[in-house]
Structure 1
């Protein structure tokens, strides 16, 4: 991904498992995004956390130490997922055990999707898509997009940013 350019980013839990039904794990995702925003490494224009994947519309502003912001995000969240599951659900943690040489556990699938958003109309289309995700019949997580807590839909409807890290894409 290039820097200073908006992207539609999708990352999925391995085997499409519904790991992110746990609100504590959703907060790990939120806190990772907040940390990167407050360090001025990324801007987040929109997001949704679904049971087995996330969508984020973000702009990578600069490298985070020696790694990309996306790498920092997945590394931090995976480490925190592991700590939380080791303490609270070791059986579930075992489902993410990895035989790969470079890791003991793997929570995120390899090769997340990152699509550059070259026009405002495409960004708006992707924003609508992620906000409508929770109300899809397959998920049925809320009646209205803005009712789903784990999304930026309410921010765009009311201006309220519950977690305090969003930037309106028009700013």
Structure 2
């Protein structure tokens, strides 16, 4: 029996992918500075130590958009990097919620606990939704569309008037300013 590839999977090791992953139930977790910083630090760690290339990114309150590729596709697996990024950020944010001064502590932990109870792969909590909604970018038109979509997200939410004013996005880099994450620019 031949297995059908899963939709939105990272099949081409040399591909450039638009990836979105979301907090369970689209919970607005990234409204706290400490959680945003933790995600940025983790993304930077994966760039420096795991062979992740980030071409564009934007952290929203309940999800993240990335355009990524593997620095050395023959040596690293992009799916493994994303798995590790999600696993680490989930454990660190949950630990911060448990031990910090999060005002929504019980409510958030209850939601994460319930999500885990619905998924046999989890034991106590589930922070991220399982899928990564990965789409390989195969044309310049598709690349431009996704790049614009990522950078316009905070503008559409009304957080900033121009994309480059949102700190948690690569729009800053694409406008000539230094952002929080090293970017491999798309041609």
TM-score in terms of structure 1 length? 0.89
CA contact (8 A) 2:86 2:128 kept: yes
Unaligned ranges ≥5, structure 1: none
CA contact (8 A) 2:44 2:182 kept: yes
- The structure with the largest alpha-carbon Rg is 2
> Which residue does 1:153 correspond to in 2?
171
> Which residue does 1:72 correspond to in 2?
84
Where 2:66 maps in the other structure, the secondary structure is strand
Unaligned ranges ≥5, structure 2: 1-9
> Which residue does 2:153 correspond to in 1?
133
Structure 1 residue ranges, 4+ long, deviating more than 6 angstroms after superposition:
none
For 2:80 and 2:129, the matched residues in 1 are separated by: 17
Output aligned runs, 1:70-149, within 5 Å.
70-88=82-100, 89=102, 90-91=105-106, 92-97=108-113, 98-99=116-117, 100-101=119-120, 102-136=122-156, 139-149=157-167
For 1:55 and 1:149, the matched residues in 2 are separated by: 14
> Which residue does 1:14 correspond to in 2?
24
> Which residue does 1:166 correspond to in 2?
183
For 1:106 and 1:32, the matched residues in 2 are separated by: 18
> Which residue does 2:58 correspond to in 1?
48
For 1:14 and 1:164, the matched residues in 2 are separated by: 25
Q: CA deviation at 1:155?
A: 0.5
Segment of structure 1 superposing worse, 55-64 or 79-88: 55-64
TM-score in terms of structure 2 length? 0.82
Q: CA deviation at 1:23?
A: 1.8
